[in-house]
Amino acid sequence: MAKILPLKSVQPRKFGYKKARRHARPDSEHTGQIDLFAPTARIIAMPSRPGVFEEALLYDERGNAEKAYESYKRAILADEYVADAYCNLGILESEAGRIGEAIDCFKNSLTKDPVLFESHFNLANVYFDLGDYRPAQVHYEIGASLEPDYANLYFNLALALAMLEDLDHAVEALETYRRLAAPAEAEKATMLLATLKHSVEQS
């Protein structure tokens, strides 16, 4: 069986975490929009201040990890976008080096919402960093079934498959990444793809 020694010389870096922002997606029941197809149109009052989850996300994006952490916890207690809050809390736990807590957060998120793409992708990243490539592969593949056009996932999946010495599928994943990514980003995968194809030929 061929060893992936050339991969170490290329030193490709996987793409990092993705925050959950499901709350920001259009939803007529939560955005204050009028349902034009309802029998009787009614005006829904806009909230005067952001919710706890939105507050947490603002702190998070401004780099205030401590307040973001506290606000995500409060969002969970308030039963507000719990899956998303656990997901983003997991990112903070991981960045703080608390890997066990991060895994628990992502799993709690998926318990609340088994099809939350961001939690599958982020949990896969944690497993990848731990060298647990098989569960990383599983969660990347679930993520791909949920958001098949998210290019970065296929790059990370290709790396996991390469480390598992599943070279043919690693090449397929990397070719999918190159097809979906912007041209400048896709070019970064050229050397890795050549390395993987060479390894396939030598196996």
pLDDT digit string, tens, across residues 113-123? 999 999 999 99
pLDDT digit string, tens, across residues 90-143? 999 999 999 999 999 999 999 999 999 999 999 999 999 999 999 999 999 999
**44: which DSSP letter?**
P
Tell me how many degrees the CA angle 170-194-145 measures, rounded to the nearest 5. Answer: 25
The pLDDT value given to residue 151: 94
Range of lowest pLDDT (14-23, 46-55, 61-70): 46-55
Q: Give me the percent of the chain exceeding a pLDDT of 90.
A: 62
The pLDDT value given to residue 85: 97
Mean pLDDT for 61-74 is 96
Percent helix, strand, coil in the chain (nearest 5)? 65, 0, 35
* 23/150: higher pLDDT: 150
Helices (H), strands (E): how many in the chain?
11, 0
pLDDT at 156 over 90: yes
The pLDDT value given to residue 201: 66
Q: How confident is the model at residue 32 (pLDDT cuts 50, 70, 90)?
A: very low
- Domains of the chain, each with CATH number or no CATH: 49-114 (1.25.40.10), 120-203 (1.25.40.10)
Contacts (Cβ under 8 Å, ≥6 apart) of 153: 15, 121, 140, 143, 144, 147
Query: Tokens in use for 23?
Result: 């709350």
The pLDDT value given to residue 25: 43
